[in-house]
Copies of this chain bind each other. A is one copy, B any other.
Amino acid sequence: MPVNAANALGKRRSLLHETRCQNCSLSSLCLPLALELEDMEQFDAIIRRRSPLKKGESLFRQGSAFSSVFAVRSGSLKQVTTEGSGEDQVTNFYLPSELVGLDGIDEQTYPGSVIALETTTVCEIPFDRLDHLSEQLPELRGQLYRSMSKELRDDRKMMRLLSRKTADQRLASFFTSLSDRFRRRGYSPYSFRLSMSRADIGNYLGLAVETVSRILGRFQQQGLVEVSGREVNILNLEALVAQAQDDH
């Protein structure tokens, strides 16, 4: 179809333009964060363009061969792992500037599928070239170590949430964490749109969908948030933060 073709072309052009790290609004959060301009150009050179993913499309599938890590440029994704005959498990949500695929290095396959929750663009970074470049650029290497370390730290937080917190605390944590991540990215920490369904949230937090719904309703009654579909308005962030703490 001619309309689509024109569309795709337009997208490709803007991608080409934006794809340079120097011009990217996320450069202060992303991997090249610590790089000097000329180093950034080296880094820039190994990055591959990717056409945008539509909602529901996967960046890669569980079990496929590991080759690259990806930096989210816009949109959002979820990581889903399927084990045996069991149900799926949502293990992570990724927002712009975050790094996807780091858990694939070890066994050279991706341990989960990563699926776009909305139209999403990513930068592909072939890992062998990244590794090689990290030999020459200590700052890049450090940033890579830090990214992985941060993910480890976040995972520990998640474990704590899953093993010690009540359903209310989990939801409160989820919202305050999202709020914080939006704030860091320059968006409003009070008003945002959830790109994931209630089912995804419940699955991620280890709760039934019904529980998520009920608690969201309760939060609304208590005047903590205003929720309408996927639009969220945080009315009392402090109270929400207090709720998220694990002492009663």
B160:A145 contact, CB within 8 angstroms: no
Interface on chain A toward B: helix, strand, loop, or mixed SS?
Answer: helix
Residues of B within 8 A of A245 (CB): 83-86
Of all chain B residues, which has the CB nearest A86? B246
Partner of A159, one of B105, B148, B162: B162
Q: How many copies does the complex hold?
A: 2
Nearest opposing residue in chain B for A205, CB measure = B163
B153→A151 contact, CB < 8 A:
no
**Are A141 and B146 within 8 A (Cβ)?**
no
Can you offer 6 A-B residue contacts whose CB atoms are under 8 A?
A86-B245, A102-B152, A103-B149, A105-B145, A135-B135, A152-B152
On A, residues with C-beta under 8 Å from B are 81, 83-87, 89, 91, 102-107, 111-112, 131, 134-135, 138, 141-142, 144-153, 155-156, 158-160, 162-164, 205-206, 245-247
